[in-house]
Amino acid sequence: MMYKDEIILELKSYFQRHADIYEIDMAFLYGSYAGGYPKEESDIDVAVLFSQEMSEERAFDLVSTLSVEFTDLLRHETNVLYIDGELSKPMLHYNAIVNSIPVFIRDFTRYADIKFKAIYQMEDFCIFGIKWQSDIVMTRLEALNRA
Distance between CA 129 and CA 75 in Å, rounded? 38
pLDDT at 122 > cutoff 90: no
Per the CB < 8 A criterion, the answer to whether 33 and 42 are in contact is yes
Question: What letter would DSSP give residue 37?
Answer: -
Half-sphere exposure of residue 88: CA atoms within 13 angstroms, side-chain side:
7
Report d(CA 37, CA 119) in Å as an integer: 23
User: Which domains does the chain possess?
Assistant: 4-121 (3.30.460.10)
Decide if pLDDT at 24 tops 90. Answer: yes
Q: Is the pLDDT of residue 1 over 80?
A: no
**Mean of the per-residue pLDDT values of the chain:** 91
What are φ and ψ of residue 68, in 5° steps? -65, -45
| Helix, strand, or coil (residue 1) | coil
Taking a C-beta distance cutoff of 8 angstroms, is the pair 27, 45 a contact?
A: no
State residue 133's pLDDT score: 67
Predicted pLDDT of residue 17: 98
Share of the chain above pLDDT 70, in %: 92
Q: Is the dihedral of CA 94, 100, 105, 108 positive or negative?
A: positive
Question: pLDDT tens for residues 75-116?
Answer: 999 999 999 999 988 889 999 999 999 999 999 999 999 999
Taking the alpha carbons of 14, 70, 113, 119 in that order, is the dihedral positive or negative?
negative
